[in-house]
Every structure is written in C-alpha cells, then in structure tokens.
Amino acid sequence: MITLYGIPNCDTVKRARAWLDEQGLAYQFHDYKKQGVPAAKLPRWMGELGWDKVLNRAGTTWRKLDEAAKAGASDAAGAAALMVAQPSVIKRPIVEWADGRLSLGFSPELFAAHAARAAAR
C-alpha cells in the first residue's frame, strides 16, 4: 500500500493525490494536521532522505518562526523536534511506496518512476 504524508490544503499534496487518483493507484493519506507526525517514521525519513531536505526552509511556516526556533533546528535532533511540534515545516509530500522506498516532493516523472518500480516488484 502507498502512504502519502502531508497536509490536505498544500498545493503540492493536492497535485500528488490527483496524480495517484488519475493513475488508479490506491493509497492512504496521512494528514499531519489531524494525525500528527508519525514519530516512529521520522528518523527513517531523516536518515534516508536527509534531515536538511525533509526540513522545508522555503515555506511560509519556516519564515514565520522566530530566530530561536530556526537556530534550534540547526542539527538533526533540533530539526526533528521542530518537525514534530510544527508539522508544516516538513517538505511535502513524503510518500512511502508499496515497495518500501521513500520519495520527497512531487513531480509526475518522480511518481511514475516510483510507481513503475513498485509495480515491477
């Protein structure tokens, strides 16, 4: 099963969900706002994808943080604490594909490659 992690009002998440729907791929949606950040998965995401890539420093939530909060996210432990407290600072979407691989962000090409790899398994 594919699991897509994000927030429902994010435009990138909307495009990713639409792509999955158009391809007829079944998936679960994990809403950070309602379900929180899955703390047990966060270390894997940060390890495989890179904590500095999972932490979205380009978004509105990051820009609204005070300097102390930003400074506290200067290493993996601080970034993890911030992501749990402020899920909107996580780059979206994170997808766990049926084959267990992870992806970060959305593009039709990225999703097509992951979907094909998972289907070939």
Is 10 in the active site? yes
Tens place of pLDDT for every residue, the chain, 121 residues? Answer: 999 999 999 999 999 999 999 999 999 999 999 999 998 999 999 999 999 999 999 999 999 999 999 999 999 999 999 999 999 999 999 999 999 999 999 999 999 999 888 776 6
Task: Give the CATH class of 2-120.
Answer: alpha beta
Q: Are strands 102-104 and 2-6 parallel, antiparallel or unpaired?
A: unpaired
- Pair 48, 102: CB distance under 8 Å: yes
Is residue 23 classed as helix, strand or coil in its secondary structure? helix
**Per-domain residue ranges of the chain:** 2-120
Predicted confidence at residue 119, as pLDDT, reads 72
Q: Which of 10, 25, 49, 65 is catalytic?
A: 10
- Measured CA angle at 99 (ends 57, 51), to 5 deg: 20
pTM of the model: 0.93
Please write down the HEC assignment for all residues of 32-85.
Answer: HHHHCCCCCCHHHHHHHHHHHHHECCCCHHHHHCCHHHHHHCCCHHHHHHHHHH
Predicted confidence at residue 35, as pLDDT, reads 95
